[in-house]
Structure 1
Amino acid sequence: MISLSENEQKKRKPLWTKVFLVTSLSNLLLFFSFQMLIPTIPTHISQLGGNDFQVGLVIGIFTISSLLTRPFAGRALDLLGRKHVLLVGLTICALTIAGYSYMAVIALILAARFVHGIGWGISTTSLGTVIADIIPPERRGEGMGYYGLSNTFAMALAPLTGLWIMQTYSFHRVLLISSLLAVLSLFSSLFISYAKPVPVEKSIQKTKLIDRLWERTALLPSVLLLCTAICYGGIVTFITLFGLEAGISNVGWFFLCNASMVLIVRPITGVLFDRKGPEWVLLPGALFTITGLLLLSYARTEFSLAIAALCYGIGFGSIQPALQAWTIARAAPDRRGAANGTFFSANDLGIGLGAMVLGALANLSGSYALMYRFSSVLIIVFLLIYGWSFWHVWRSVQLPQR
């Protein structure tokens, strides 16, 4: 006799299709190319004689252009189709990275970073929309979890790889490999092919401009993502300085342990999201994130730093893909581009705010440890917002029964 679980297993649509693998590979190559430049471009700017303000501007201007681009990229995806927009974004990324090699003036690099941010905003929004189209709805959480592993793998290895190549060879060698990876991402995307999404209705096309660029159903998950992204921005920006303050010689353990835990939990929490719903992932994920931030603030050894990273990795690895899957589930098929644009814009904005606001907070408090403790309040805000929305939905379901 076949059990119910076996019947359900037979009815489930396949996840590991050719287009899923190709899209994940393209995303991996793009993120690896991008992550190699994160620690190396600031060093290159310093070697050219740039000051701290110019180094920060190189990071900030990229975030700004990406943030400004995403809503328009989302709208273009819904109107013009996924593949054409994706190829345009990847082409911009590949050409811009290759162009860095010919720029010896900081002003030109800043201009190139602005253009690169446009390509990045288009490419990542496009890939996120493509993957949302092809993942079976009943396996959305699981699929997003596996897809997100390509980001995590790149975040764990690419910065270290970029620094090693720069120290062993040169920054130009880093650019050569980074641009090659971007070209490979572009090449692999040529093989992405699947059924066209539902066409945009005329009634949607007549809506206000703000509604064309932003997806209202994505606002709640995006606000929740904003809270977690601010915390993450504070970590990636100031973890090295925190290590100096706390007397921890090698803060690289945090990234390694964090990435390792994310790799483990994403597939598990993805399945949990599909079977139980977002609350079963978001609430425990938030608690682990708070625990990780508080443990990080009290870390004084590499071992305690690793424990903090493991807890934070469970929370971070659970929340981000669950929120993205929830965003897609709430949006209509012909609004997935706008939904992804709204979602990723919140991520960009949060990381940028985390660097600026939490940096100012650290300056006022005189301690990076206190900054991380204060940042945990944002996750409490996360819990309050989600708790309110959950109660509101539950109440709306219960009231008609009275």
Structure 2
Amino acid sequence: MYSRTFFALMLSNASLRVATMMLVALVPLYAFDLGLSPAEVGLTSTLYFATAALSRPLAGWLVDAKGRWMAMLLGASFFTIGTGLYLLSLPVWLFLALRALQGAGFSLNSTAVGTLATDIIPEKKLAEGLGILSLEQTVVTIFAPGLALTLREVAGYETAFGVALAFCLMNFLLRIPLAKPAKEVERRRRASMSSAANRGFLQLVEKDAWRPATVMLCFMFGTTCVNTFLAAYGQQQGLGNVGLFFVASGVALAISRLLMGWLRRRMSLTAIVCFGVLFSAGSMALIYFSASMAMLIIAGACFGLGAGVVSPAMNSISVLSAKPEARGRASATYFFALDVSTAVGAWVLGLVASAYSLREVFAVSGVLVLGALLLILWLHCTQRLPRKGF
């Protein structure tokens, strides 16, 4: 599993992820400094995530029809072009259009990378491999935003965007070793395809992956409250700075990803998902009843452990539910569920907070997370998952 191709994929994706997280921190501040209104600043995020979500089905089709390598390069190109143009003085409409372009690039790249990973990782170790591959996301999330803000303070926006652009260009260099293995995978995949396998452009969503993707939709719909409302809730409850929650969560997330191989050898994927969902629901309960920072730190550890195993396990189930020639669409269906849950979940839970209180948001979120548990158990017990052994 730990081949040269695997590590090249991990490093190349990490370099683009650094640029992505730097821009997450920089773009809203840059937009305010350009004189954009709060509504226009909000549009920078809305357009990015909305375009990413809407382009997922097309990205899945493109990955299957044109190949992983082509889709990766196209997505990275979109993102790099957008990053480079931030160095210029732009009108508001073009600034917003660049965020939409980068959203499409992010969608193409992440779908292609996720699909290629499922091609090169043995099926029996898929959950473990996807967990290790996503470790870079945890590490990058810790330092990239801080790097961006430090560069902005010390050297200004031009330098900060320049460094982000350098990481984008580094991504292209690190993708070069992936060309040969990606094309070899594509050759084998096409040789094994049946004549009816190419179902055309209109088959954008993989029918065998939508059930497990729905489980992830329900799970992420509930857990999106943490990033959106926890900081405000901590202040409201007099708990102070909730940064230690995210530190505990990040450490636990990394540990859980490293433990995926050990868990997979002892448990089915469904059992791993149930294990993770229970930890996540427990985290929501601990947040709801938190009266001290110590309890909040324990909640963070539970949250990280839960999310760390649920994501790679459900990703594996979604992809392995589909035929090999449809893995691009299966990956896109899975990521589309994540995009929709993140975009819609925060808004719906915000309505709950407005109608009741921030505290009640975490109670509702806990119920939604448990809904994912009931759904995966129902799919498993009624044998509605396409493959046995899950």
Query: Deviation per CA, 1:105-136, whole angstroms, max 9, x where unpaired?
Result: 43322111001101110011111011110001
Alignment of 1:136-147 (within 5 A): 136-147=122-133
State how far apart, in whole Å, the 1-side matches of 2:149 and 2:385 are: 53
The root-mean-square deviation of aligned C-alpha atoms, in Å, is 2.2
The answer to whether 1:280 aligns with 2:271 is yes
Alignment of 1:150-229 (within 5 A): 150-192=136-178, 193-194=180-181, 195-197=184-186, 198-199=189-190, 200-206=193-199, 209=202, 212-229=203-220
Equivalent in the alignment of 1:368: 358
Q: CA deviation at 1:254?
A: 2.2
Q: CA deviation at 1:99?
A: 1.0
Q: CA deviation at 1:161?
A: 2.4
Q: CA deviation at 1:351?
A: 0.7
State how far apart, in whole Å, the 2-side matches of 1:298 and 1:106 are: 44
Asked if the contact 1:239/1:251 (under 8 Å) is kept, the reply is yes
Counterpart among 257, 276, 281 of residue 266 in structure 1: 257
SS in structure 1 of the partner of residue 87 of structure 2: helix
Q: CA deviation at 1:140?
A: 1.0
Asked if the contact 2:197/2:325 (under 8 Å) is kept, the reply is no
Query: Deviation per CA, 1:201-242, whole angstroms, max 9, x where unpaired?
Result: 331334681xx2111111122111112222343222223322
Q: CA deviation at 1:395?
A: 12
> Identity over the aligned pairs, expressed in percent?
27
Asked if the contact 2:218/2:341 (under 8 Å) is kept, the reply is yes
TM-score, normalised to structure 1, is: 0.89
Give the number of equivalent residue pairs: 381
SS in structure 2 of the partner of residue 102 of structure 1: coil
State how far apart, in whole Å, the 2-side matches of 1:249 and 1:397 are: 47
Equivalent in the alignment of 1:318: 309
Q: CA deviation at 1:173?
A: 2.5
SS in structure 2 of the partner of residue 156 of structure 1: helix
Runs of 4+ residues over 6 Å off in structure 1 = 394-398
State how far apart, in whole Å, the 1-side matches of 2:39 and 2:68 are: 37
Equivalent in the alignment of 1:106: 92
Equivalent in the alignment of 1:84: 70
SS in structure 2 of the partner of residue 38 of structure 1: helix
SS in structure 1 of the partner of residue 119 of structure 2: helix
Query: Deviation per CA, 1:154-185, whole angstroms, max 9, x where unpaired?
Result: 12222232233323332332211111111111
State how far apart, in whole Å, the 2-side matches of 1:391 and 1:150 are: 35
Equivalent in the alignment of 1:303: 294
Instruction: Classify 1:303/1:178 alpha carbon distance in 2 versus 1 (closer, same or farther; 3 Å).
Output: farther
The answer to whether 1:384 aligns with 2:377 is no
Asked if the contact 2:321/2:386 (under 8 Å) is kept, the reply is no
State how far apart, in whole Å, the 1-side matches of 2:288 and 2:151 are: 32
State how far apart, in whole Å, the 1-side matches of 2:199 and 2:204 are: 12
Instruction: Classify 1:111/1:164 alpha carbon distance in 2 versus 1 (closer, same or farther; 3 Å).
Output: same
Instruction: Classify 1:107/1:207 alpha carbon distance in 2 versus 1 (closer, same or farther; 3 Å).
Output: closer
Instruction: Classify 1:166/1:18 alpha carbon distance in 2 versus 1 (closer, same or farther; 3 Å).
Output: same
Q: CA deviation at 1:309?
A: 0.7
Asked if the contact 1:70/1:121 (under 8 Å) is kept, the reply is yes
State how far apart, in whole Å, the 2-side matches of 1:18 and 1:259 are: 27
Q: CA deviation at 1:17?
A: 0.3
State how far apart, in whole Å, the 2-side matches of 1:174 and 1:395 are: 46
Counterpart among 19, 26, 33 of residue 12 in structure 2: 26
Counterpart of 1:71, as a letter, is: P
Equivalent in the alignment of 1:257: 248
Query: Deviation per CA, 1:266-324, whole angstroms, max 9, x where unpaired?
Result: 12134423553112211110110011112123335433322211010010001001111
Counterpart among 336, 341, 344 of residue 350 in structure 1: 341
Q: Which runs of 5+ in 2 are unaligned?
A: none
State how far apart, in whole Å, the 2-side matches of 1:102 and 1:355 are: 33
